[in-house]
């Protein structure tokens, strides 16, 4: 930055005389070309061309800008007081009829003293630099304004210095501080700003780390009572408190030690940070897809607040050839019509700059608003992109097939109704669940002692009755499997409820269940459904593999159909043998398969 006025021509003698006259008057506004008659700007000033002679210097306040003025003061201090070279011939002045001149020894005694060869006068560098910064009449002293030339009056120099609190000593102190940046106001303000920024960064980093952990673990942020006197203020605040306890540097600036309006723990801050993480993740997914094609997977369901939510998932192949399925958004929809779903997907695609031309497949459930051939979401997307073929989830289709077949058979439907009642009676309380677990442990210990079962890693784990889902028939398989393993324990619990049940209704239900579980029909249905659902579960798990391709999926479906056909053709004897073994183990009466079968729903038909 150029800091000093570059004059086109040197001032004339008249100009110099006018400048000297103005200095003698102590005026601050000088009409000479070297002073305020010329408008200065930072561009017109050059630090390297600051005048050396004190008589040529302008007042510091005449330079524009506080920072420029401070820099000029600093440059003059680095240079030091202006003094002639050794051997300089000081001019003499007749004072009281005697020739007088400046004594060069004074420079050794007074480090602030400087001399102007131009006007043959002495000045004070420190008072000149601080003249416009310190209040006081001493700023108009001769050593600051017109110069000192009383060479016969050396005590006048000591008078100028004065006492400890004199203007001169205050000016000296200020100049010394100016050379020490750590003591300047600017440095103090900057240091204060740096401390505030560091504290802000620590608070923000702590909140970010807490949000990252809670998002990764899928935990709730808020607590029921987040007041200061609460024993549990919620996961977020408790985690921030834990981080503060582990790090003294964090503890000094967070929660109570932070400004009340700058703690970075409010719900709005938590949501903002979580949204930032979501945007970063989704943008990385979009960047990984690039301009390549992908499949669109959509499903909707109501959340705990009874708001309809639509989940949008993209299925694609990355640059490494790996198949990826990534959730890019959960959107609230006002209604579940195909037009509303389509408009929300359009908004999501527009937000992340995705095109319908990139879609190659679309997959939904079997609802009419999704897979409808004329007005469904499937049809609306096909109008924009004919390559976005619809594929109904194979695993979901398998579940629907099993459900439809089971509902058409009265015996199987009654069987699962009794299983549901059994779970309500035997597993309705923690006490009965504990009784089942204890009974199972005792049976396992006896079996290990007699050598009936082997031990090893992962074997003989603690079990309990698992409650099945409404549409996930794989969970029904797990329920039947646990019932088969815990059958003796379940019988003991039902006998306990029949005898010491809480009310007559439970006792009657337990009695009816005991009669049903000890019947051959139950054993037959149990093992037949275990076999069928076992193969269906294996196929379902295979179809839901992330790395599954269409050819392998078709091969697995074909193989499962062959297994079922083989069971129809040759599986009767093996199934009957398994059932008879179960009956013998648990003292269940066997049924002679050669006897006439009487349908309990149609007893007259044999």
Q: What is the pLDDT of residues 448-493, one digit of tens each?
A: 777 777 776 666 676 777 777 766 667 888 888 888 888 888 888 8
What is the reported pLDDT for 307?
Answer: 84
Other beta carbons within 10 Å of 10: 9
With a cut of 90, say whether residue 236 has pLDDT above it.
yes
Residue of 156, 249, 269, 169 whose CA lies nearest to 202: 249
Band the pLDDT of 42: cuts 50, 70, 90: low
**Closest to 160 measured CA to CA, from 127, 131, 133:** 127
pLDDT per residue as tens digits for the range 176-233: 888 876 666 666 777 778 888 889 999 999 999 999 999 999 999 988 888 888 888 8
pLDDT at 34 (0 to 100): 35
pLDDT at 131 over 90: no
Give tens-digit pLDDT for 250-296.
999 998 888 888 888 999 999 999 999 999 999 999 999 988 999 99
Q: Does 36 score more than 50 pLDDT?
A: no
Which residue from 514, 495, 510, 493 is spatially nearest to 438, judged by alpha carbons?
493
Strands 121-124 and 359-363: unpaired
Question: Do residues 315 and 323 lie in contact, with contact meaning Cβ atoms separated by under 8 Å?
Answer: yes
- Cα torsion 346, 351, 352, 353: sign: positive
**Residue 427 pLDDT level (bands cut at 50, 70, 90):** confident
134-143, 164-173, 252-261, 423-432: least confidently modelled range: 134-143
Q: Where are the alpha helices (DSSP H) in 316-365?
A: 338-351
Question: For residue 170, is pLDDT > 70?
Answer: yes
Task: Give the per-residue pLDDT at 101.
Answer: 92
Which is nearest to 169 in space by CA: 112, 223, 250?
112
Selected residue with higher pLDDT from 29 and 171: 171
Q: Which two tokens stand for residue 13?
A: 């003698």
The mean of the pLDDT values for the chain is: 82
Answer yes or no: is pLDDT of 357 > 60. Answer: yes
Q: Is the Cβ–Cβ distance between 208 and 223 less than 8 Å?
A: no
Lowest mean pLDDT among 31-35, 41-45, 214-218, 309-313: 31-35
In this structure, are strands 113-116 and 121-124 parallel, antiparallel, or unpaired? antiparallel
d(CA 478, CA 401): 18
User: What are the two backbone dihedrals, phi and then psi, of residue 418, each rounded to the nearest 5 degrees?
Assistant: -70, -35
Burial class (CB in 10 A: 0-12, 13-18, 19+), 549: exposed
Cβ neighbours of residue 17 closer than 8 Å, sequence gap 6 or more: none
Percent share of the chain, pLDDT over 70: 87
The answer to whether residue 12 scores a pLDDT higher than 90 is no
pLDDT at 280: 92
Q: With 60 as the cut, is the pLDDT of residue 326 above it?
A: yes
As a whole number of angstroms, the distance between CA 361 and CA 571 comes to 40
Q: Please give the average per-residue pLDDT across 165-170, as a whole number.
A: 89
Round to whole Å and give the CA distance between 435 and 300: 40
CA atoms within 13 A on the CB side of 34: 21
Q: What is the mean pLDDT of residues 116-140?
A: 82
Mean pLDDT of 306-326: 88
Judge whether residue 445 has pLDDT over 60: yes
Contacts of 28 (CB under 8 A, 6+ apart): 59, 61
pLDDT score at 466: 76
pLDDT at 33 over 50: no
Compute the CA torsion angle 140, 143, 147, 152 (nearest 10 deg). 130
pLDDT surpasses 90 at 121: yes
What pLDDT is stored for residue 458 in this prediction?
64
Domains along the sequence of the chain with CATH: 54-179 (no CATH), 185-273 (no CATH), 290-392 (3.30.420.40), 401-450+462-586 (no CATH)
Confidence grade of residue 15 (pLDDT, cut at 50, 70, 90): very low
> How does pLDDT run across 193-207, given as a tens digit for each residue?
888 888 999 999 999
pLDDT at 28 over 60: no
Determine which of 7-21, 152-166, 380-394 has the lowest per-residue pLDDT on average.
7-21
**Could you read off the pLDDT of 511-522 as tens digits, one per residue?**
899 888 988 989
Q: Average pLDDT of 391-403?
A: 73
Q: Between residues 597 and 249, which one has the greater pLDDT?
A: 249
Among residues of the chain, what percentage have pLDDT more than 90? 24
pLDDT of residue 1: 33
Quote the DSSP letter at residue 85. Answer: P
| Residue 414, SS3 per DSSP | helix
pLDDT exceeds 50 at position 6: no
């Amino acid at each position: 930055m150029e800091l000093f006025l570059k004059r086109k021509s040197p001032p004339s003698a008249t100009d110099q005389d006018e400048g000297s006259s103005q200095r003698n008057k102590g005026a601050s506004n000088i009409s000479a070309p070297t002073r305020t008659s010329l408008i200065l700007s930072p561009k017109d000033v050059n630090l390297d061309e600051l005048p050396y002679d004190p008589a040529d210097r302008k007042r510091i306040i005449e330079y524009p800008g506080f920072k420029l003025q401070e820099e000029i003061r600093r440059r003059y201090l680095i240079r030091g007081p202006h003094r002639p070279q050794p051997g300089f011939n000081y001019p003499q002045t007749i004072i009281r009829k005697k020739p007088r001149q400046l004594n060069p020894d004074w420079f050794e005694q007074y480090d602030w003293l400087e001399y102007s060869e131009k006007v043959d006068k002495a000045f004070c560098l420190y008072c000149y630099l601080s003249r416009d910064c310190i209040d006081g009449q001493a700023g108009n002293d001769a050593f600051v304004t017109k110069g000192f030339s009383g060479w016969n009056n050396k005590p006048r120099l000591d008078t100028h210095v004065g006492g400890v609190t004199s203007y001169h000593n205050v000016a000296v102190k200020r100049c010394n501080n100016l050379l020490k940046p750590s003591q300047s106001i600017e440095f103090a303000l900057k240091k204060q700003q740096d401390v505030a920024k560091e504290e802000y960064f620590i608070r923000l980093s702590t909140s970010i780390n807490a949000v990252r952990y809670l998002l990764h673990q899928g935990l709730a942020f808020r607590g029921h009572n987040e007041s200061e006197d609460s024993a549990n203020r919620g996961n977020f605040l408790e985690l921030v408190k834990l981080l503060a306890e582990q790090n003294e540097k964090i503890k000094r600036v967070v929660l109570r030690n932070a400004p009340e309006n700058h703690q970075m723990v409010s719900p709005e801050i938590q949501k903002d940070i979580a949204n930032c993480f979501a945007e970063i993740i989704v943008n990385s997914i979009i960047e990984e897809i690039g301009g390549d094609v992908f499949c669109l997977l959509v499903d909707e369901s109501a959340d705990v607040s009874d708001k309809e939510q639509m989940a949008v998932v993209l299925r694609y192949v990355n640059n490494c050839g790996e198949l990826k399925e990534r959730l890019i958004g959960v959107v609230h929809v006002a209604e579940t019509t195909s037009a509303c779903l389509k408009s929300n997907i359009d908004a999501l695609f527009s937000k992340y700059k995705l095109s319908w031309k990139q879609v190659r497949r679309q997959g939904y459930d079997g609802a009419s608003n999704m897979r409808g051939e004329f007005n469904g979401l499937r049809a609306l997307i096909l109008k924009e992109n004919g390559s976005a073929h619809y594929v109904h989830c194979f695993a979901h289709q398998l579940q629907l097939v099993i459900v439809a077949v089971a509902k058409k058979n009265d015996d199987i439907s009654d069987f699962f109704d009794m299983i549901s009642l059994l779970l309500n009676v035997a597993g309705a309380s923690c006490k009965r669940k504990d009784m089942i677990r204890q009974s199972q442990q005792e049976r396992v210990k006896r079996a290990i002692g007699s050598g009936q079962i082997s031990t090893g890693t992962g074997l003989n784990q603690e079990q309990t009755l698992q409650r099945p889902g409404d549409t996930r028939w794989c969970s029904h398989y797990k329920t039947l499997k646990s019932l088969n393993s815990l059958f003796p324990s379940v019988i003991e619990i039902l006998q306990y409820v029949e005898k010491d049940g809480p009310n007559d209704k439970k006792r009657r239900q337990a009695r009816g269940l005991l009669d049903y579980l000890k019947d051959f029909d139950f054993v037959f249905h149990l093992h037949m459904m275990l076999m069928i659902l076992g193969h269906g579960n294996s196929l379902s798990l295979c179809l839901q593999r992330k790395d599954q391709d269409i050819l392998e999926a078709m091969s697995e479906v074909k193989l499962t159909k062959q297994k079922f056909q083989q069971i129809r053709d040759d599986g009767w004897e093996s199934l009957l043998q398994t059932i008879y073994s179960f009956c013998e183990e648990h003292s269940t009466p066997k049924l002679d398969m050669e006897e006439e079968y009487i349908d309990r729903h149609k007893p007259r038909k044999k």
